[in-house]
Structure 1
């Protein structure tokens, strides 16, 4: 199968978008991620794929934990902050949002309706992305008012990515 043939298949998909955060050696980083999913029920595990071109990847490869956040469709500005180009990766995105440090100093976004912090169990080379297999160790309280309308891939079309894949 060629890349263009796979593009036909993947072009039909619409999946949740996540903000993934990391902290290591006094550095914080976060980015918008579409490649992520629960990958085991017993034990519960979640896989997040980070682009090797991304600053968040460079911090995450030294981190012991990652934060994974869901956003609502009304939080496109937050998605743009974590998903668009920054000035040579020197912009402190966390200076622009409310957040708190959780396990292993992992930044957690206070405005995210749902989040979890996961311990990095394994890193898997997938090509231009590296998978981080996470064991969830802490999660947000239940979402008040039921299930929110989540930010999906289609909601982010037109967003200028911070880095190529």
Structure 2
């Protein structure tokens, strides 16, 4: 290990090597649907149940979510890479992503992706600006999960995708 006095560079190198799970987050307001691929998401409390989702403030989904009361978080398996590509490398400003995948209306009118290995929906409790992303604190309310999830789509699986918008 080498010493690096530039903490910013060390941080960039470190997080560039982490292999976080990736999620597709969807939402809807007044019949307008949106969704995007998200890498900044994690459980933040056991009791009460809480999950945090970071949405880029340049993202179409962020703008729709700003008016939403709920988000749906989808877990993808490697077999779902095409869903990851659709939601990660196109923008809702230009493309109706839901016209290109199978989905159904779920709780609170949320679009639920039929191909996802698992999903849950949650009420947005708080929005916290955190730089170029806004954290959405969710209270999970409903969902569905396969008996065995298996491997997940991770950052390493999608780092070759060209983003649908600037970060």
TM-score by length of 1: 0.93
Q: 1:39 aligns with which of 32, 38, 44?
A: 44
Q: 2:14 aligns with which of 9, 14, 31?
A: 9
Residue 163, structure 1, aligned to residue 149, structure 2: no
Residue 83, structure 1, aligned to residue 88, structure 2: yes
Which runs of 4 or more aligned residues in structure 1 lie more than 2 Å from their structure 2 counterparts after TM superposition?
Answer: 1-5
- Cα deviation, residue 2, structure 1: 4.9
Residue 143 of structure 1 aligns with which residue? 146
Q: 2:100 aligns with which of 96, 99, 113?
A: 96
- Cα deviation, residue 117, structure 1: 0.4
Q: Quick check: 2:117–2:149 contact (8 Å CA) kept in 1?
A: no
Q: Distance in 2 between matches of 1:120 and 1:58?
A: 14
Q: Distance in 2 between matches of 1:3 and 1:50?
A: 22
**Structure of higher CA gyration radius:** 2
Residues 125 and 66 (structure 1), Cα distance of their counterparts in 2 relative to 1, 3 Å cut: same
Q: Quick check: 2:118–2:149 contact (8 Å CA) kept in 1?
A: no
- Cα deviation, residue 164, structure 1: 1.4
Which stretches in structure 1 are left out of the alignment for 5+ residues?
none
Q: 1:72 aligns with which of 46, 69, 77?
A: 77
Residue 134, structure 1, aligned to residue 138, structure 2: yes
Residue 58, structure 1, aligned to residue 63, structure 2: yes
Residue 121 of structure 1 aligns with which residue? 125
TM-score by length of 2: 0.92
- Cα deviation, residue 104, structure 1: 1.7
Which stretches in structure 2 are left out of the alignment for 5+ residues?
1-5
